[in-house]
Amino acid sequence: MFIGKYYPVKLHYVTPFFRNCICQFLLTTLVTMFLDFTVTVALYGCALASLTTGYPHTVTRVGDDVIITMNPANVSFPYDVLVNDSVAVRLLLVLPKSHRVVVLNSSHTGYTTRMRYTGEDSLSQTGQLRFTIYNVTVQDAGTYYCQGSNNQTVTGCRQVLVVAQEPTTPTITGPVSPVSGENVTLTCSSSSRSLPPDHPPLTMTYIWRRDRTLLESGDESPTGGDDLTITHISRENHGDIYSCQAVEEGLESDWSHGHVLDVLYGPDQIQFDGTSDKLEVEEGKPVTLRCSADCNPACTVT
């Protein structure tokens, strides 16, 4: 018999992820109380985890049609399919015993006319739950999961739908006034705007151009990376304007502002009369010499 104090606990509605986490923590605490030690780390580690971490995900675009496929455990109780962005919305009612699936009325997102259950037979035959959302909107992004009427968890029934968006306009960081002969690295930075905000990592690539000419692989450095390295920069690069663009799931951002290179270089040679480094004069006659040199910043000739 367990002898100890009784602690009443009231749980308010939270998302299934956090509810499971909290219940698991409470169960751990009750057991460990009996064993006369406590574990306090579990709640914090669980609560900080992302809702989308470690779950299958599907990426789509606004206006596309997308098929959501999940593999729920074989259960006998009825359960709902919900999507949880900021507020959980019931989409489907699954009745395993009668092999029926009902599309529920969610008029504010138009699911009644935009969703169709496409796996009625497969639920009993293959264990898959499959439905199609037509004409995807940004409001469709989120975590789709299954839950019984008494908050029972249905394992294997969770899918994250990522609605791809154009990345933010990139910014370029790197030296503005490099010295001739140096290697210069410019870095292009952008952020994902795909939804939900805590979506699983997506691949973002970058396109570079110089003076509005795209840089192909082998020019300065290969395209696709966020870094662009210019080796042995020279006076010929003075005034070059570099810009970049971010691409995620085929969607392109706006081009960044131009990064202008103000290359610093000294005089390679001095020119007389602006023509050459040699001057022919006639003996005994006066001559006027004009010296010039190309350098940045401007040279002082003495």
What DSSP letter does each residue of 187-235 carry, written as one string? Answer: EEE-----BSTTPPP--EEEEEEETTEEPPTTSSS-TBSSEEEE-S--G
Whole-number Å distance between alpha carbons of 13 and 82: 14
On the question of pLDDT at 157 being above 70, the answer is yes
User: What residues pair up with 58 in beta bridges, in sequence order?
Assistant: 161
Q: Give me the long-range contacts of 276-281 (CB less than 8 A, separation at least 24).
A: none
Residue (of 65, 43, 69) closest to 56 by Cα position: 69
* Residue 153 pLDDT grade (very low, low, confident, very high; cuts 50, 70, 90): confident
CA–CA dist 205, 33 (Å, integer): 52
- For the ranges 206-220, 231-245, 261-275, the maximum mean pLDDT occurs at 231-245
In whole angstroms, give the CA distance from residue 11 to residue 19: 8
- What's the pLDDT score for residue 40? 31
Question: What contacts 276, CB < 8 A, 6 or more positions away?
Answer: none
Instruction: Grade residue 88 by pLDDT with cuts at 50, 70 and 90.
Output: confident
Measured distance CA(49)–CA(199) in Å, rounded? 12
Task: Count CA within 13 A, CB hemisphere, residue 239.
Answer: 3
Q: Check pLDDT > 90 for residue 223.
A: no
What mean pLDDT do residues 23-39 have?
A: 34
More confident: 12 or 197: 197
Q: Read off the tokens for 152.
A: 């029972």
CA nearest neighbour of 237 among 181, 159, 160: 181
Confidence of residue 278 (pLDDT cuts 50, 70, 90): low
Q: How confident is the model at residue 75 (pLDDT cuts 50, 70, 90)?
A: confident
Per the CB < 8 A criterion, the answer to whether 72 and 133 are in contact is: no
* CA-closest candidate to residue 169, choices 189, 196, 145, 151: 189
CA distance 52 to 134: 23
- Given a contact cutoff of 8 angstroms between Cβ atoms, the answer to whether 186 and 258 are in contact is no
pLDDT value for 53: 57
Question: Over 90: is that where the pLDDT of 120 sits?
Answer: no
- Give the dihedral sign, CA 118/120/121/124: positive
Pair type for strands 79-84 and 88-95: antiparallel
- Structure-token pair, residue 167: 């990345």
pLDDT reported for residue 97: 82
CA distance 4 to 7: 10
Instruction: Inform me whether the pLDDT recorded for 106 exceeds 70.
Output: no
41 versus 285: which is more confidently predicted? 285
What is the rounded distance in angstroms from the CA atom of residue 204 to the CA atom of residue 166? 11
* Most confident among 115-124, 225-234, 292-301 (mean pLDDT): 225-234
Average pLDDT for residues 271-300, to the nearest whole number? 74
Within 13 A of 51's CA, how many CA atoms are on the CB side? 25
Summarize the confidence of residues 105-119 as an average pLDDT.
71
Predicted pLDDT of residue 31: 35
Q: Is 123 helix (H, G, I), strand (E, B) or coil?
A: helix
One-letter amino acid at 209 equals R
pLDDT of residue 180 exceeding 60: yes
Q: What is the pLDDT of residue 108?
A: 55
The confidence score (pLDDT) of residue 219 equals 58
Confidence of residue 177 (pLDDT cuts 50, 70, 90): very high
pLDDT of residue 247: 95
Find residue 296's DSSP bridge partners.
265
Look at residue 51 and tell me whether its pLDDT is greater than 90: no
Question: Where is pLDDT greater, at 113 or 197?
Answer: 197
DSSP class of 22: H
